[in-house]
Amino acid sequence: MAEKNSKGIPGERIAKVIARAGLASRREAETWIASGRVSVNGAVISSPALNVTPRDRIVVDGEPLPQRVRTRLFRYHKPRGLVTTHADPEGRPTIFRALPKRLPRLISVGRLDINSEGLLLLTNDGGLARVLELPATGWLRRYRVRAFGRVTQEALDRLREGITVAGIHYGAIEATLDREQGANVWLTMGLREGKNREVRKVLEHLGLRVNRLIRVSYGPFELGPLDDGAVEEVETEDLRKTLGPELATQANADFESPLEHEMPFVPAHHSAAGRKLQSEIQKGPQPPLDSGPRARPRDRNGRKKRRRDRTGGPRPKYPRP
């Protein structure tokens, strides 16, 4: 009997399955499909309007879709000057290039713009990322903001009723005036939608110019003492308890499967380095470069080759005068 989704339709959408495998977000997966990078049962597909089941063979960039692995979540202290994307068309540095290479292939839960810093959640599960981003989840994002200008608490209190700026409506915002510092003010702000550059646009509407923006929490997860640029995994049991059964079910999170190989996934088409990386993953872990003395090369007869100096000639037996 064919497996069915929550609507009674056999299987699940192909982009959703790719996202849950930790390769990309659902939106990225749909782009991959439209580019002809995905095939199902040997046939290249061009539309994400396809349901698949575990019996279907899915291939991305010539590589079989990895088996599903355990859902993982990481807290990352994003520094200023990094873009929250895997590849930036302008060539700016990205958070994913700055992350330690030992981590699995990750996607971000929402974004922080290049001039913002603080807590950014990262996960290997596209389904979890999508659920945590939804305003319906109701998780409060809290920020510490330094802005140039002056504002009253009374004006900030009116943000609780929501505000429309340049035709875009922003929901209720909690804002507190903490202190004045020279020509700047420090604020604490909390919001649940997280629309594009929401804090900056709303404060600009109030006559303030943001010059520092730090996210200090995302729902129950806090930045805490995490160092700038550091990343720390949320333990599986803590993640399970924090999400609760409702969110875990909604995200179809998997806390039982084994952990994936501690290497990032790089689609084979990206570069020769990507293809080499995939080959290394298939071979399994390699010994570290400093695992022991390097063996001297040998000639065809098995004799050790003579070392050569930097000019290409044989290395002298005694130091040159």
Q: Which of 140, 152, 169, 168 is nearest to 206 (CA)?
A: 152
Numbers of helices and strands, H then E, in the chain: 8, 17
Q: CA 142 to CA 169: how far, in whole Å?
A: 19
- For residue 78, the cross-strand partners are 118
The pLDDT value given to residue 16: 81
167 Cα distance to chain centroid: 30
CATH of domain 12-64: 3.10.290.10
Q: Which residues are catalytic?
A: 113
Phi, psi of 133 (to 5 degrees): -80, -25
CATH fold for the domain made of 73-251 = Pseudouridine synthase (3.30.2350)
pLDDT per residue of the chain (321 residues) written in tens, 0 to 9? 344 444 455 788 898 888 777 677 788 889 999 999 999 999 999 999 999 988 899 999 988 887 777 899 999 999 999 999 888 888 899 999 999 888 988 999 999 999 999 999 999 988 899 899 988 888 999 999 999 999 999 999 999 999 999 999 999 999 999 999 999 999 999 999 878 899 999 999 999 999 999 999 999 999 999 999 999 999 999 999 999 999 999 988 889 887 765 444 444 334 444 344 334 333 333 333 333 334 445 555 556 555 554 444 455 444 444
Q: What is the pLDDT of residue 275?
A: 42
pLDDT score for 193: 85
Q: How far apart (Å, rounded) are the C-alpha atoms in residues 277 and 272?
A: 9
Regarding pTM above 0.75, the answer is no
Beta strands in 50-206 (DSSP E): 51-52, 58-60, 63-64, 73-78, 107-108, 117-123, 141-148, 163-165, 168-170, 173-181, 184-191
| pLDDT, position 122 | 96
Phi/psi of residue 319, each to 5°?
-60, 145
Look at residue 135 in the predicted model and tell me its pLDDT: 82
Query: Which residue type does 183 have?
Result: A
Round to whole Å and give the CA distance between 288 and 179.
52
Contact residues for 276 (Cβ-Cβ < 8 A; gap 6+)? none
Q: Where are the domains of the chain?
A: 12-64, 73-251
3-state helix, strand, coil in the chain (%, to 5): 25, 25, 50
- The DSSP 8-state label assigned to residue 10 in this structure reads B
